[in-house]
Amino acid sequence: MKFVIDHLSKSFEKKAVLLDIDFAFEEGKIYGLLGRNGAGKTTLFNCLNRDLRTDGGSFYFEESGARREVRAEDIGYVLSTPTVPEFLTGREFLRFFLDINAASVHVSKSTDEWFELMSIAPEDRDKLLKDYSHGMKNKMQMLINIIAEPRLLLLDEPLTSLDVVVAEEMKQLLRSLKANRVTIFSTHIMDLALDLCDVIVLLSHGELEIVDKENLDSQEFKEKILAALREDVHE
């Protein structure tokens, strides 16, 4: 299975943010979408999630040589700033999500087993979400996307503000779940992308460009990426 973006573009008034996005993502891999802040990473995700209308182009899945439309249930989207119903407890939120999606999700674990998967302690499961830390809210947001088993998982800077332990837990979890889906991980931190991702894609000048990881440990390789990002900043 491939997820294909075919000449997608998006502008805001006179500012072109996405010029000609043309790329094929393969299942089973984590793609690092690397770009400076403001390069258009979130705009791209919002177009793919259909929160924004594109100006041109299309995107679709390709399976066994046939194209099919991307449906809402195919997409999981983890925001950089977690959005959760803070008036519910963690357990209430999880049960609510499972109840309203009972017809479409395969539930293989109890609620406590799901919490254990995310390393959420027993004493925190019945706390209001408003009392959760940023990292714990992020875990809850990630958890519902894991349960939904989307074919396309969009991760918008999800680890940037997490502490070292939580960030490492999340990276290990993402690696274990990458089979049978396309995962696109947006970040402006090059070392994080290199550590986690199988393929690095640079968003610069409104276009996507795959980055050769052959010499990823060399200073020349890193300077090449940084030069492209700095050039994008000055445009």
Q: Which residues of the chain have pLDDT under 70?
A: 161, 213-235
Contact 174, 167 (CB under 8 A): no
- The CA distance from 154 to 150, in Å, is 10
pLDDT tens per residue, range 15-24: 899 998 999 9
207-224 exposure pattern, b = at least 16 Cβ within 10 A, e = fewer: ebeebeeeeeeeeebeee
User: HSE of 220 in the Cβ direction (CA atoms, 13 Å)?
Assistant: 3
Structure tokens at 53: 């209308």
Please give the share of the chain, as a percent, with pLDDT higher than 70: 90
Structure tokens at 184: 């696109």
Model pLDDT, residue 161: 66
Order of strands, edge to edge, in the sheet holding 56-63? 15-26, 2-12, 56-63, 66-68
Question: Which residue from 132, 137, 197, 192 is spatially nearest to 160, judged by alpha carbons?
Answer: 192
Model pLDDT, residue 194: 84
Q: Report the 10 Å Cβ neighbour count for 63.
A: 12
pLDDT tens per residue, range 141-197: 989 988 999 999 999 988 776 778 878 888 888 998 899 999 999 988 888 888 899
